[in-house]
Amino acid sequence: MIDSFLDYMRYEQNCSQLTIIAYKEDLSQFYQFVEDNCDEFDVTLIDSDIIRDWIMLLMSEKFTATSVNRKLSTLRSFYKYLLRKSIVTADPLRKIVGPKNKRPLPVFLREKEMNELMDDVDYGEGFIGVRDHLIIEMFYMTGMRRAELIGLRDVDIDFSGQLIKVTGKRDKQRLIPFGKELEDSMRKYLAERKAINNQIDQSFFVDAKGGPLSPGQVYRIVQINLSKVVTQKKRSPHVLRHTFATTMLNHDAQLGAVKELLGHSSLATTQIYTHTTFEELKKTYKQAHPRA
């Protein structure tokens, strides 16, 4: 039946070879578990207790919650197939809840590190140096995503209203305010960009030839400059987005306001940053209190 299921997923559901290999491995593990703990592998006799025992075994063997849930997903697909073929009459996974995935806290820079990055790092001279500094500054002061920064056009910058129109996921647009410091940096960049006199694209941020920046170029600009002030492994544009959100909340911004600035569709997504700020609070307490 397992072989029949794998053929069905391969030829009728057009699953990739890697997916089929993963399915086969998961089901082989489950088959072996049932064989070791029951008289025989009979799909009609397997109940939720057997599956819960399997979950407990996997967790005891240090499988991550993500891995266990993937294996359960395989098992669910297998039993849906058996139900469709009328081989079983009930799904033993109907009431099974997998282990909760532990969501890692966002990686961010502390204010001291950001001040060093903004004020002390040498970005070089001319157009490239001014542009690279502004990219770092834009991420930190607006919290926008990499794709949103690349997608900025000149018409999206409203200097008179000090607003940036950002087009986010699913083409959802939002307005992000900016202050005098970012305005001065943008005007300085535009003057440098005009001086190279070869812009061929409508993008706000361009390369030295006037063309649009690629995601890889932006990633490298951030990675190279963050490496000058931090040693942490993660040094991506998203780290600066996390830093923006964490900084806002640390300075008493309302959660709902940060949600709107980040362009989150759900407040629950933004709440991860409250856990980050609380972790910082715990560290401060432990460092500062003599009996912590």
The model's pLDDT over 237-262, given as tens digits with 9 standing for 90+, comes to 999 999 999 999 988 889 999 999 99
pLDDT at 158: 97
3-state secondary structure the chain: CHHHHHHHHHHHCCCCHHHHHHHHHHHHHHHHHHHHHCCCCCCCCCCHHHHHHHHHHHHHCCCCHHHHHHHHHHHHHHHHHHHHCCCCCCCCCCCCCCCCCCCCCCCCCCHHHHHHHHHCCCCCCHHHHHHHHHHHHHHHHHCCCHHHHHCCEHHHEECCCCEEEEECHHHCEEEEECCHHHHHHHHHHHHHHHHHCCCCCCECCECCCCCECCHHHHHHHHHHHHCCCCCCCCCCHHHHHHHHHHHHHHCCCCHHHHHHHHCCCCHHHHCHHHHHHHHHHHHHHHHHCCCC
| Domain containing residue 129 | 111-288
Q: What is the CATH number of the domain that holds 43?
A: 1.10.150
In a domain, 102, yes or no: no
> Do residues 135 and 272 share a domain?
yes
In a domain, 235, yes or no: yes
Q: Which residues are catalytic?
A: 145, 169, 238, 241, 264, 273
Closest by alpha carbon to 80, among 96, 98, 66, 93?
93
Amino acid at 121: V
> Do residues 12 and 145 share a domain?
no
Question: Cα(first)–Cα(last) distance of the chain, in Å?
Answer: 58
In a domain, 129, yes or no: yes
In a domain, 99, yes or no: no
More reliable by pLDDT, 145 or 100: 145
Strand partners of residue 165: 175
What are the tens digits of pLDDT across the range 39-80? 788 888 899 999 999 999 999 998 888 899 999 999 999 999
Least confident of 6-15, 160-169, 185-194, 281-290: 281-290
Instruction: Please count the structural domains in the chain.
Output: 2
> Do residues 74 and 124 share a domain?
no
> Do residues 69 and 124 share a domain?
no
> Do residues 56 and 193 share a domain?
no
Say how far residue 8 (Cα) sits from the centre of its chain.
33
> Do residues 69 and 180 share a domain?
no
pLDDT at 119: 94
> Do residues 140 and 266 share a domain?
yes
Give the C-alpha separation, 146 to 148, whole Å.
5
> Do residues 130 and 171 share a domain?
yes
> Do residues 126 and 243 share a domain?
yes
